[in-house]
Chain A
Amino acid sequence: MKVSEKDVDYVADLANLELTADERSSLVRDLNSILEYMDRLNELDTSGVPPMAQVSDQYRTAADKSPVASFGAVLREDIIDGLRKSLPHQQAVQNAPDSDGTFFLVPKVIER
């Protein structure tokens, strides 16, 4: 067993998930079975292989650059006013579970 119940608790904590006891035990089972399958990646020697985080990483090294030469250049000059206007206040908070109309309300974080 790769993943223990303690590991599941730790990861749930990182992910901000509160799990029930049932969820915890089924996740121990599922994660172990899935990760065991994932281990087949270790059959491959990847030393010297660069990691690929984005598809555009590959375009720039592809032999045929012609149609996609401009792809992957994701930086642009700043646009001071933004590409679109900010949402009006009322719209920005309309989906909030709790709001006073100006701010999003959450439980008190700092006691004094």
Chain B
Amino acid sequence: MNLDRLTIDSARTAVEQRATTAVELAQSCYAKIQKEDGQVGAFLTLSHDRALEQAERIDRMAAEGKPLPPLAGVPVGIKDVMSTRGVRTTAGSKSLDTYVPPYDCTAVSRMEAAGAVILGKLNCDEFAMGSSNENSAYRPVRNPRDLDRVPGGSSGGSAAAVAADMAVATLCSDTGGSIRQPASFCGVVGLMPTYGRVSRYGLIAFASSLDHIGPLTKTVKDAATVLGVIAGHDPMDSTSADVPVPDYVADLQKPIAGLKLGVAKEYFADGLDDEIRHAVESAIDRLKQLGCEIVPVSLPHTPYAIPTYYLIATAEASSNLARYDGVRYSHRARGFRTLSEMYRRSRDEGFGPEVKRRIMLGTYALSAGYYDAYYLKAQKVRTLLTRDFQQAFAKVDAIVTPTSPTAAFRLGEKSNDPLSMYLADIYTVTADLAGIPGLSIPCGQTKENLPIGLQILGRHFDESTILRVAHAYEQASS
């Protein structure tokens, strides 16, 4: 089976029409992983048994002529921050090296109930903290488009697996850009839904007011299909919204002519690479040719998004990661004498440098004497950033921006300078802070053949519009 450019759509159709079987698809992916993943490093754990059992079940349904669910036989990967029953889940951390969850993340079980075949768990930055996948405690991931470059982060393994055709789609998390930035670096489609659109039950928490689950796929239609499967209220997650789920795939067919697209000058300021600027401006021209009206908008607090994000995210992380104490699960050091010493040494051995840095920054921002100056201040600026979007969306239906100020950088290029790594997230953290949906689609490449991403941001719970704009752009440019 040729996996190149295999989409959810074409994989499911092939299984339904018996042109292939789900088992054969899974085995082709495993063969590809065996052959190529030694170089790329996308997968941390493979789940052969679970995959083949599911594939056989789908093949039996197909053979009996039963109606097949929307992801029937589609080989997918899961970022290793989502719990999978019976399959090791590390969050890219040594502290969870041997952790085997006793239950499934809701989004994972919804994927499986829709027929998806789960190939395994994907490499990521430790606890999803990073923008290059170099913070994985296991190994860095390399960008399949150029093995000297990073795939982006924190869902680097997930983006690389789709870009290298080792999986047809992957399920990932986005806290500050972790779906969209790797999508942009690897040349695939990444969708972060509205905060609350998809249940986070079973997602290993990083920053609870910012964490989202969403898909990485090869096409916009595939992203719409996966969102339709995973969206919707879940009683196990009190932050999941009880808002009706539209038919995202059907909505792709609605016209985009007449839609108002906002362009904010703050996203084209200093620091944006010229090649990226040019590609994104061409994409905006194309959308104009397709009948959209381009409207200048202002998001004046954008320059404050990075400090706001890194204060709130690290504060929440310092609290969420307190649970890794070596008692119920997670790494426990040896040779301690007291309980306190056990906690400290276990955490020091289990966590990598970036995780410690963020726990320290977050604890500092929450500590007596600094709470008002840092954490509370950041929460207030978060309100201002959100109001920027509310005012803009009173005038426009979606906002188009670059996904990242540069294309994929080289391994090691930023890894010794945490602040410069943080600054690379400038265009993605704003949507997480405001809770609005955003996606990234490929819009050309640099002279060095590195993919460039176009980001489309939408109103709360209006994924349909951004998917529709992205789909129209994709159809017009392919």
Contacts and interface: CB of A to CB of B under 8 A. Distances in A.
Contact of A107 (B241, B336, B459): B336
Contacts of B288: none
Contact of A40 (B238, B304, B325, B357): B304
A33 to B, nearest CB: 6
Interface string B340-374: 11111101100101001101110110010000001
Given A16-B344, A63-B390, A97-B326, A46 B99 contact: no
A86 B57 CA distance: 29
A31 B361 contact: yes
Interface stretch (B45-53, B271-279, B381-389): B381-389
Contacts, number: 183
Which of A7, A11, A68 has the most CB atoms of chain B within a 10 A radius of its CB?
Answer: A11
Given A15-B359, A50-B383, A83-B236, A106 B435 contact: no
A34 B361 contact: yes
Contacts of B364: 3, 7, 11, 31, 35
A95 B380 contact: no
Interface string A90-107: 011111111000001011
Contacts of B242: 70-71
B339 A96 contact: no
Interface string B292-303: 000000000101
B302 to A, nearest CB: 12
Interface string A25-47: 01100110111011111111010
A23 B241 contact: no
Interface residues of A, number: 64
A54 B327 CA distance: 30
A81 B67 CA distance: 36
A53 interface: yes
Contacts of B325: 16
- Give chain B's interface secondary structure class: helix
Interface in A46-61: 46, 49-56, 58-59
B461 A55 contact: no
Which of A10, A18, A49, A56 has the most CB atoms of chain B within a 10 A radius of its CB?
Answer: A18
Interface stretch (B150-158, B307-315, B447-455, B466-474): B307-315
Contacts of A3: 364
A47 B102 CA distance: 47
B239 interface: yes
Which of A3, A43, A106 has the most CB atoms of chain B within a 10 A radius of its CB?
Answer: A106
Contacts of A112: none
B378 interface: yes
Interface of B: 98-100, 102-103, 195-196, 209, 235-236, 238-239, 241-243, 301, 303-304, 306-308, 310-311, 318, 322, 325-332, 336-345, 347-348, 351, 353, 356-357, 359-361, 363-364, 367, 374, 376-384, 386, 390, 394, 418-419, 422, 434-435, 459-462
6 contacts: A15-B318, A46-B381, A68-B243, A74-B238, A95-B98, A97-B331
Interface of A: 3, 7-8, 10-12, 14-20, 23, 26-27, 30-31, 33-35, 37-44, 46, 49-56, 58-59, 62-64, 67-68, 70-71, 74, 76, 83-84, 87, 91-98, 104, 106-107, 109
Closest 4 CB pairs of A and B: A55-B435, A51-B379, A97-B332, A18-B344
